[in-house]
A and B are shown apart, each in its own frame.
Chain A
Amino acid sequence: MPIGAGAIIGGVASIAGGLFGSSSAKRAARAAAREKRRLQQKLNNLEKNRQEVINPYEGVKSLSSMISNPFANLSVATQAAEMKIEEADISLANTLDTVRATGGSGSATALAQAALQSKKGVTASIEAQEKSNEDKRAQGEQDVQRRKMAEEQRMQQADVAGKQFVFNTTENREVAAMDRVASQLGMSAQAEAQAKADQTGAITGMFGSLASIGGSLIK
């Protein structure tokens, strides 16, 4: 109690003491109430400005358009077959011409057989080569597509994981910040309650003095 407070207030000395005690408690209660209001507003603002909940899979696209059948356009080796026929015809004609010119006595059928036989191997080889090349192209194409898809998938997964990471980290930090403010809010509410209790205590101490004032009224 400040020096002279009793004289300033007058009445019984304990009233002045109680008044100053009560005023301190009142100020503390008001400060705690103000702090509570401030923290509540801060918490509201943090909650209002929280990040939107995201769907990390939002950007995932179907990769089906990248899938095609590499065997769909395989060419058939008809050229080789046509060539085989043509070459066989030419060979037969040539042999017949030679037989006629030389007066030979070979069987035309046998000659034709021989000519045909000689070209058969070549044709088979070309066909095999063409088929092999076609198979390799298809295989290569299939491989490229598989790798492209795998890379696309990897990129999409990385994108999803990245979004998830950013969201979770931000979320954790925001929640931690809000937890801290909420905890401070709880403490300020306790402080306010305590200050109010102190104020009640200080006022209770003045009751005896009040009675003496009240008594003086009816004298």
Chain B
Amino acid sequence: MENNLNQNLFLQQFNKSDAIAYSQSFTSSTSDYNFQLLDNAYRNTGRIYAKLKLAIDSNRCQDETCALELAEIKHLQEAPQASLDFLSSLLAELSVTDDSNFDPNNNFKYTAANSVMTAKPGFSKSDGYNVYLDLLPNGAQQIAFIGPAFEEPLVINSTALNALNESNTSLVVQTPDVSKDMLRLLTEVGIFSPDMVSEDGQLSAGAKITEEYVIMNPDGTPDYAIIDVGGGKGRNTLKYDIDKIDKKASPFINAEVAGLMSSEQDAVAAWNVYISKGTSAEEDDQMAQNANAGEESWSYEEDLPLDQDKKVLFEKKYKEYFMNNYLKQFITNQFPTVQADAAVFDLAEAKQAKAQKFIDDNNL
């Protein structure tokens, strides 16, 4: 698994780095991408078609019903459309490896295959790569990739790919855009007033959590925390009832996780790229170039379907990720909305006043 991860990361970095542009041996040699997939696949089909047609017309079939010949002719007639469907489905799958948040725990061979199919520098015939499309007797088709990145040929069968797609499964897993999902989730958890959410579903600049979640004194005034802003000065900041926020947000976060779990392979990708390490969104951007979840990664081959423990862990960490990376900024260092309380003040005086109030309140 680790080897696969490293191979994938190497290929990603190789493709993104443009390093090959500075290789003299590359720039001075011919790059031949003339794989001619369809031309090669259909090279002899005209002759075969003619033979079959002649056999039927002249009653020289293998049996008197000509069933075999008729079936083969049908396959040949349907083959061009099937080839185009197969190749377009395959290209759609492989293109996922170009995504910025692609999970390198996917099989690295698909990254290499995409590089071949999209004619990336270093993946030409001259570099030792080749692709073959074969029409199989049963009407199915298969594509095989060979070259230095493939220890063994990567073979993909059209019927297998079609079956996967029909059951809403992917050969290469597209990582959900967790950042986008969480920004939207922020507006859905019900702790911001609707007027702070714009028409396009985004939180407006300067959005604040509603007062319902601010901790209040018995007299109805906010219970401020004081932060030291330096130079002996301080400022009031609002305190939030985290339990209440958690209680309010949890059902919506759980629903989000349930949605994500509708495709477990998506959840695995989200875990590997974003959730597992509890890193910040910024760190995740950087991590994509490193190892993401690394040794904590879940494997598509070994961990699917996800067991209950993993599902529970995913839900817990997803919530933590949301709280730490998206919600925290709205409950940290929030200044009072009351103008007078928002002013900078002398820390020593404030401390003395607070002590005096305590003495007065408790008749000390």
A interface residues with partner B (beta carbon < 8 Å):
2-5, 7-11, 15, 18-20, 22-24, 26-27, 30-31, 33-34, 37-46, 49, 173, 176-177, 180-181, 199, 202-203, 206, 210, 213-214, 216-219
Shortest CB-to-CB span from B94 to chain A, Å, is 9
A-B contact list, 24 entries, CB within 8 Å:
A2-B119, A5-B117, A7-B35, A7-B119, A8-B117, A8-B131, A9-B35, A10-B37, A23-B91, A26-B92, A30-B168, A40-B262, A41-B258, A41-B262, A43-B255, A44-B258, A45-B258, A177-B190, A177-B252, A202-B88, A214-B80, A217-B42, A217-B76, A219-B46
Chain B interface mostly: helix
A150 to B53, CA, bound (A): 100
A33 touches which one: B117, B168, B251, B252 (CB < 8 A)?
Answer: B168
Q: Is the CB of B188 within 8 A of A38?
A: no
Closest 8 A/B residue pairs (Cβ):
A4-B119, A42-B259, A23-B91, A10-B36, A4-B33, A10-B39, A41-B262, A45-B258
Q: Is the CB of A213 within 8 A of B38?
A: yes
Chain A residues with CB below 8 A from B124, complex form? 4
Residues 249-305 of B at the A interface (beta carbon under 8 Å): 251-252, 254-256, 258-263, 266
Q: Is the CB of A217 within 8 A of B49?
A: yes
Q: Please, which residue of chain B has its CB at the minimum distance from the CB of A9?
A: B37
Shortest CB-to-CB span from A69 to chain B, Å, is 43
Q: Is the CB of A49 within 8 A of B251?
A: yes
**With contacts A19-B84, A38-B259 known, what are 9 further pairs, Cβ within 8 A?**
A8-B37, A10-B39, A23-B87, A23-B95, A37-B168, A38-B260, A38-B266, A45-B255, A206-B84
Q: Is the CB of B119 within 8 A of A34?
A: no
Shortest CB-to-CB span from B205 to chain A, Å, is 21
**B324 on the A face (CB < 8 A):** no
Chain B residues with CB below 8 A from A31, complex form? 174
Q: Is the CB of B33 within 8 A of A218?
A: no
**B77 on the A face (CB < 8 A):** yes
Chain A interface mostly: helix
Q: How large is the interface on B (under 10, 10 to 19, 20 to 34, 35 or more residues)?
A: 35 or more
Chain B residues with CB below 8 A from A26, complex form? 88-89, 92
Chain B residues with CB below 8 A from A218, complex form? 46, 49-50, 53
Q: A49-B251, A216-B42 are in contact. Are A22 and B259 (CB under 8 A)?
A: no
B interface residues with partner A (beta carbon < 8 Å):
33-40, 42, 45-46, 49-50, 53, 76-77, 80-81, 84, 87-92, 95-96, 116-119, 124, 131, 165, 168, 170, 174, 188, 190, 194, 201, 251-252, 254-256, 258-263, 266
Inter-chain CB contacts under 8 Å: number: 137
Shortest CB-to-CB span from B358 to chain A, Å, is 33
Shortest CB-to-CB span from B79 to chain A, Å, is 8
Q: Please, which residue of chain A has its CB at the minimum distance from the CB of B76?
A: A217
Q: Is the CB of B36 within 8 A of A15?
A: no
A49 touches which one: B174, B254, B266 (CB < 8 A)?
Answer: B254
A217 to B77, CA, bound (A): 9
Chain A residues with CB below 8 A from B262, complex form? 37-38, 40-41
Chain A residues with CB below 8 A from B258, complex form? 41-42, 44-45
Chain B residues with CB below 8 A from A177, complex form? 188, 190, 252
Chain A residues with CB below 8 A from B50, complex form? 218
B35 touches which one: A3, A8, A24, A219 (CB < 8 A)?
Answer: A8
Shortest CB-to-CB span from B356 to chain A, Å, is 37
A9 to B131, CA, bound (A): 10
